[in-house]
Amino acid sequence: DAGVIQSPRHEVTEMGQEVTLRCKPISGHNSLFWYRQTMMRGLELLIYFNNNVPIDDSGMPEDRFSAKMPNASFSTLKIQPSEPRDSAVYFCASRPNNYGYTFGSGTRLTVV
Amino acid sequence: KQEVTQIPAALSVPEGENLVLNCSFTDSAIYNLQWFRQDPGKGLTSLLLIQSSQREQTSGRLNASLDKSSGRSTLYIAASQPGDSATYLCAVRQGGSEKLVFGKGTKLTVNP
């Protein structure tokens, strides 16, 4: 089992550019989560999907952020346009029913 | 609103010492509690998961306890080693929710 796979590992982009982060959950895990980690706020849930359906996106900071899960093996988090305050580490996690979470290695995003 | 607090924020101990990391939460209606380890620049590694009906879980030199009524969990590390140096995060899953609420973590340094 390769675990939760995120790409890219690092992303540096200029303010105003579109950024797309990718996640492949563990096969058979029916829930997928996107978290953001910053020094100031720690880990915060942005959005989660259950059986590919977005359930709670109340943590998405603003309309510049969007997430999709077109199938059970792939999800994207898009930021358009990006701003310097979006700089953070973005984690994807997946979970089977009633068990604990498995996190990916994260994408470190820097917006200059 | 659930809040998770971890004390201390940082801890430095000599190798071989037994130590306890603390986690408290404000709402006792939790589904489970999970301890994670995060190495610098890396993702989160799950250490132990305690369901709300359980009192403790053990894995090797690690033992996690849960006292739901008092809103507390402890992570006990026996015979600490320099390789245990990392940030330890406590996360609570609320009953009826898919969301994990994280503490800010305890940064542990084990000195040789």
pLDDT tens-digit map of B55-106:
999 999 999 999 999 999 999 999 999 999 999 999 999 888 888 899 999 9
Please tell me the distance from the alpha carbon of residue B9 to that of residue B89, in angstroms, as a whole number: 10
Q: Which residue of A has its CA nearest to B32?
A: A100
Bridge partners (DSSP) listed for residue A56? A48
What are the E-state strand segments in B8-71? 10-14, 19-25, 30-38, 44-51, 56-59, 62-67
The answer to whether residue A35 scores a pLDDT higher than 70 is yes
Inter-residue contact B98 to A50 (CB < 8 Å): yes
| Residues of chain B that touch chain A, judged by Cβ-Cβ distance less than 8 Å | 32, 34, 36, 41-46, 49, 89, 91, 98-100, 102-105
Inter-residue contact A106 to A91 (CB < 8 Å): yes
Helix/strand/coil for B6? strand
The answer to whether residue A61 scores a pLDDT higher than 90 is no
Tokens linked to B8? 């201390």
Residue A75 phi/psi, 5-degree rounding, is -145, 150
State the pLDDT at residue A98: 66
The answer to whether residue A55 scores a pLDDT higher than 70 is yes
Q: What is the mean pLDDT of residues A74-89?
A: 97
State the pLDDT at residue A99: 76
State the pLDDT at residue B53: 93
